[in-house]
Amino acid sequence: MSPKIGIGSHESDLAIRTLLSEVMSGCPKSREKIAEELTLRVRRANPITVSMLNDWTKTTKTAARFPAAYVRDFCEVTGSDKLQRAILGSRLSDLIEIGERELDSQKTRSAKDTVLKRLLTADVQKPH
């Protein structure tokens, strides 16, 4: 589970910078590739550069902030939804958790149904 990020505080800014860095470090794509793909996805006239990505992660570059409008595209490019999840409020986080638990439950149910079907088919075919 991703850390929760509050809005507007120094701690939130630091948490976002740290999370951006962690996600990019964990991504198999280079920062060059991330910058290139993000530029295309957000339809930006001026390219997003590796330098910009680095500035968005540096704690000393407080004026350089990652644009909220790029969050979804960043997550798509990196293949990680950690940033999206971190900025959600507690109600939305809980709704996602409920949905994920329900999905897991349905997968388990589906697997049980498959085994049950095999057992019932085998029982019907077995002479009594």
Domain residue ranges of the chain, discontinuous segments joined by +: 1-88, 89-128
Would the pLDDT of 94 be above 60? yes
Q: Which two tokens stand for residue 68?
A: 């909220």
Q: How confident is the model at residue 123 (pLDDT cuts 50, 70, 90)?
A: confident
What CA–CA distance (Å, rounded) separates 110 from 106? 6
Residue type, 42: V
Give 28-44 pLDDT, tens digit per residue: 999 999 999 999 999 99
Render pLDDT for 42-81 as a digit per residue (tens, 0 to 9).
999 999 999 999 999 999 998 999 999 999 999 999 999 9
Measure CA 51 to chain center: 23
pTM score, two decimals? 0.74
User: Residue 39 corresponds to which tokens in the numbers above?
Assistant: 């530029």
